[in-house]
Structure 1
Amino acid sequence: MSTHHPAGRRILVTGAGKGIGRATVERLVADGAEVVALSRTAADLRDLHEAFGCDTIEADLADLEAAADAVARALPFDGLVNNAGITALEPALSTGMDTMRRVMEVNTLGPLRLAQVIGNDLVRRGVGGAIVNISSTAADVGLADHAAYCASKAALNALTRVLAKELGPHNIRVNSINPTVTLTPMGQFAWSDPAKSAPVLARIPLGRFLEPPEVAGVVSFLLGNDAAMISGVCLAVDGGLGVD
């Protein structure tokens, strides 16, 4: 098996039930990793277990400490993929504080809390590891009706850099992947209006949006040995959108 694969490593994938998370589980299992899938949806977890044989954790990052406790009971892990994310479409001037809190809880506080649980265990055991945060190109631009989402992903990028700085001396790498619009259920919900999606699509030199397996392949790379000196990077996976 190619050395870049995260073979033999025990990896937690959050938001594993659909979209990028499910594609990531499938890819990591194919690449020889031992995957534990976390989702708030029991039916999705049953399907993942039947399809890929992976262990599962039913937890909702909106109930952060309960999710952290569930992950702590499943230790040890060699890697973490913070993929779980939600969005809310509201104009900034009328975005409710409850909306902001809910989106930040899942998209920003959740990844930090699980990085604490798994990172502290890696440090305690004296072994290296890797954390991959699924962020978004929305971290770097202002998208109408996405105040909560954009803010949560910009904060996630900042956490990626801080964690990389602090965990590097322990041989723990931390990176984020910043995809453009990805054709997941959430992506289709947010970008189904052609009037909204067409201008973005027109600025992508490769001329299309992402498919979930294309993100999963980058996750696998960043978890593996070929990325051994990549840390603190917020990697755009956007078909060239960022060159505009």
Structure 2
Amino acid sequence: MDKYFEGKRFLVTGGCQGMGKGTVLELWRLGADVVALSHQAENLAKLKSEYPSIETACVDLSDWHATREVVDSLGLFHGLVNCAGVVFPESLLECTLEAIDQTMNVNVKGIINVTQILANKMIKNNIKGSIVNISSQTSKAAIKDHVAYAASKGAVDSMTQVMALELGPHGIRVNAVNPTVVMTELGRRVWSEPSKSQYMLSKIPLGRFAEVQEVVNAIVFLLSNKASMINAVHLPVDGGFLAT
């Protein structure tokens, strides 16, 4: 797929860390013009210093109006990866209003907001492309202490199907990727303790968690024309977790 995306432009939210950064760099390697969007100014500056040809944009997706202003200013895109997300590991009985609001503002409203802006421009300019929403296996299988996060990812799955239904006639495909635990820097810190990871690993037939590049590969596939008839799917990248 050498320079497969040359001449194409993509926006990746949450684009300076973890799966988002991995996606930005893979698209860049494949010849795309990429904009990495995040609220983390320091990490965006570091990414820009390492890869000067990658564009960056800084905004907090929980701020609806600021997000609209920034994303609208970025111009036209051929595709979008909604990767930004937050998680507050709180149980049902202890989950706070603040955690619920922030989770929904970023994980749900943020996706609707960014997608609405980009999709409207794609339609007006007759651009056919692809949108990938990053969901989670928690939308399909319950995990303790993730009530707000699971609710938000269930919403992402449902939104993905509605988006695919409404945008498909315009030649815009919308799919979701549903990873298991991913070995980002944060993932390694959180899940390195055997007492915490043992149960999860016991439910994954492959016996390990996902690496960042394994999720990135699925995202890039769905963005590409190799997935030209794939629309409205929720693609697990979970080593078989959902089969157990």
Instruction: Please report the TM-score for the alignment, with normalisation by the length of structure 2.
Output: 0.95
Letter in 1 for 2:40: T
Amino acid at match of 1:132: V
Q: Following TM superposition, by how much is the alpha carbon of 1:181 offset from its aligned partner in structure 2, in angstroms? A: 0.2
Structure 1 SS opposite 2:23 = helix
How many aligned residue pairs are there? 243
CA distance in 1, matches of 2:103, 2:127: 32
The percent identity for this pair of structures is: 43
Query: Who is 1:21 aligned against?
Result: 20
Please report how far the alpha carbon of residue 65 of structure 1 lies from its aligned counterpart in structure 2 after TM superposition. Answer: 1.9
2:43 maps to amino acid: D
Summarize the Cα distance change of 1:221–1:6 in structure 2 as closer, same or farther, 3 Å threshold. farther
How big is the shift at 1:126? 1.6
2:39 maps to amino acid: R
Partner of residue 56, structure 1: 56
SS of the aligned residue for 2:35 comes to strand
1:187 Cα deviation after fit: 2.6
Amino acid at match of 2:202: A
Q: Return the offset for 1:190.
A: 4.4
Shift of 1:6: 3.0
In structure 2, the partner of 1:122 is: 122
**Change in CA separation of 1:221 and 1:152 when aligned onto 2, cut-off 3 Å:** same
Q: Deviations over 1:77-107 (max 9, x none)?
A: 1111000011001110121122101001111
Q: 1:200 to 1:234 in 2, by over 3 A?
A: same
Contact 1:6 1:225 in 2 (8 A): no
C-alpha displacement of 1:192: 4.2
1 CA distance for matches of 2:113 and 2:7?
25
- Provide, for residues 47-92 of structure 1, a one-character-per-residue CA deviation record: whole Å limited to 9, x for no partner: 2222222011011112122112101000111111000011001110
Deviation string 1:208-235 (CA, Å, 9 cap, x unpaired) is 1111111111111111110111110000
Q: Contact 1:129/1:173 (CA < 8 Å) preserved in 2?
A: yes
On the 8 A contact 2:141/2:242 being kept in 1, the answer is no
Aligned-pair Cα RMSD in Å? 1.4
Decide whether the 8 Å contact of 2:140 with 2:242 is kept in 1: no
Offset from partner CA, 1:126-177 (integer Å, 9 cap, x none) = 2211100011001111111100100000100000000000000000000000
Q: Matches of 1:89 and 1:180 in 2, distance apart? A: 15
Matches within 5 A, 1:28-177: 28-52=27-51, 53-177=53-177
CA distance in 2: counterparts of 1:101 and 1:15, whole angstroms: 19
Q: 1:114 to 1:88 in 2, by over 3 A?
A: same
User: C-alpha displacement at 1:194, in angstroms?
Assistant: 2.3
- Give the conservation status (yes or no) of the 8 Å contact 2:204–2:239: yes
Counterpart CA distance in 2 for 1:139 and 1:189 is 23
Once residues 120 and 85 of structure 2 are traced to their aligned partners in structure 1, the CA distance between those partners, rounded to angstroms, is: 23
Distance 2:186 2:124 in 1: 37
Q: What secondary structure is seen at the aligned counterpart in 1 of 2:98?
A: helix
Bigger mean CA deviation after superposition, 187-196 or 87-96: 187-196
Equivalent position amino acid for 1:172 in 2: I
What pairs with 1:218-229 in structure 2 (closer than 5 Å)? Answer: 218-229=218-229
Identify the structure with bigger relative contact order (alpha carbons < 8 Å, sequence gap 6+): 1
Q: Is the contact made by 1:6 and 1:220 (CA closer than 8 Å) also made in structure 2?
A: no
Counterpart residue identity of residue 63, structure 1: D
Structure 1: distance between partners of 2:69 and 2:229: 31
- Letter of the aligned partner of 1:130 in structure 2? S
